[in-house]
Amino acid sequence: MYPEHLKYSREHQWARVEGGRAVMGITFYAQEELGDVVYLELPAVGDEVTAGRPMARVESVKAVSDIHAPVSGRVVEVNTALEESPELVNSDPYGEGWIAVIELSDPSELEDLLDADAYQSYLNQLP
């Protein structure tokens, strides 16, 4: 449920590091808590984002929530397929449901993210 090759934030985002960039999205847990996603407000290419700060918004049948950047940097690509098919976040959160690619400004921030086992332990502690 939580792929081993990804890093996770306590705000329920994931990051897949590819060189000096991180592909990011929301976790299975996040999409499950949100319910059916109906709309995403994506960041713009060129936006500067800060780890732990809102960078996008997701609207579901249950709520509107912020999506936080798992790392700091510049958005270099967004998944425009989500504009037409936001449900990809529910059906394939770690694949076709990715949200953005961030060019890392501070790779050391990756050390603050959790591996899959630590993220699962963190989830187990939530009420």
- The tens digit of pLDDT for each residue in 70-112 reads 999 999 999 999 999 999 999 999 999 999 999 999 999 999 9
User: What does the domain layout of the chain look like in residue ranges?
Assistant: 7-125
What does each C-alpha distance from 72 to 26, 37, 39, 48, 65 come to in angstroms?
16, 25, 24, 8, 20
The structural architecture, per CATH, of the domain 7-125 is Beta Barrel (2.40)
113 pLDDT more than 90: yes
User: What's the confidence (pLDDT) of residue 1?
Assistant: 79
Residue 6 CA to chain centroid, in angstroms? 11
Predicted TM-score of the model (pTM): 0.95
- The tens digit of pLDDT for each residue in 6-50 reads 999 999 999 999 999 999 999 999 999 999 999 999 999 999 999
